Amino acid sequence: MQTLDVISVNIWQILISLINLVLLFLILKKFLFKPVKKMLQKRKDEIDAQYQAAADAEQTSEEHRKEWEATLATADAKADIILQNATENAKRHGDRLVMEAQEKAESIIRVAQNEAELERRKATEGIKREIVEVSGALTEKMLEREINVQDHHALIESFIEKIGEENDGNN
């Protein structure tokens, strides 16, 4: 079979080889670079989406954290308020109790005073009556005649009263 020389130039062969290269370029572009790049783009998109999702999740968690922190802070304040209220209530309650106790004590004292006054009055009354009787008896003895205690009671009483008043005034 015939062979070419080691160096031989044939324009048609050159043209065909040129076309071959262009053909291979198109093949590589369409069947290797295009699908691979498409896939890489898709992968990039997916990764981006995942990053985005991660960022979103972080953001939401951050928001939650802030929310909780805020509620915690307000909770402290709330607790303070509650405590304050409670203390105030307790104070008020205590005050009221003390006041009531005081009132009660005062009323007891008042009652006791009244009673004492009554007693005193009774006692004075008794003493008066005795004095009247005694003085009645004395005057009876002195005048030797009977004095109707009943009749002169009012008179005597006014008299004693006068004495008492004079005593009070002296005192």
Residues that bind other proteins (CB under 8 A): 1-25, 27-29, 31-33, 35-37, 39-40, 42-43, 46
We find the least distance from the C-beta atom of residue 44 to other proteins, in angstroms, to be 10
Considering the complex, state which of residue 23 and residue 163 has its C-beta at the smaller distance from other proteins: 23
Q: Give 14 or 101: the residue with its C-beta nearer to other proteins.
A: 14
Least separation in angstroms between CB 26 and other proteins? 8
> What is the secondary structure of 67-126 as a DSSP string?
HHHHHHHHHHHHHHHHHHHHHHHHHHHHHHHHHHHHHHHHHHHHHHHHHHHHHHHHHHHH
Q: Give me the least distance between CB of 53 and other proteins, in Å please.
A: 16
Residue number, 6 or 143, with CB nearest to other proteins: 6
- Closest by CA to 135, choosing from 118, 157, 119, 164, is 157
Quote the tokens at residue 159.
Answer: 């008299």
Instruction: State which residue, 47 or 55, has the beta carbon closest to other proteins.
Output: 47
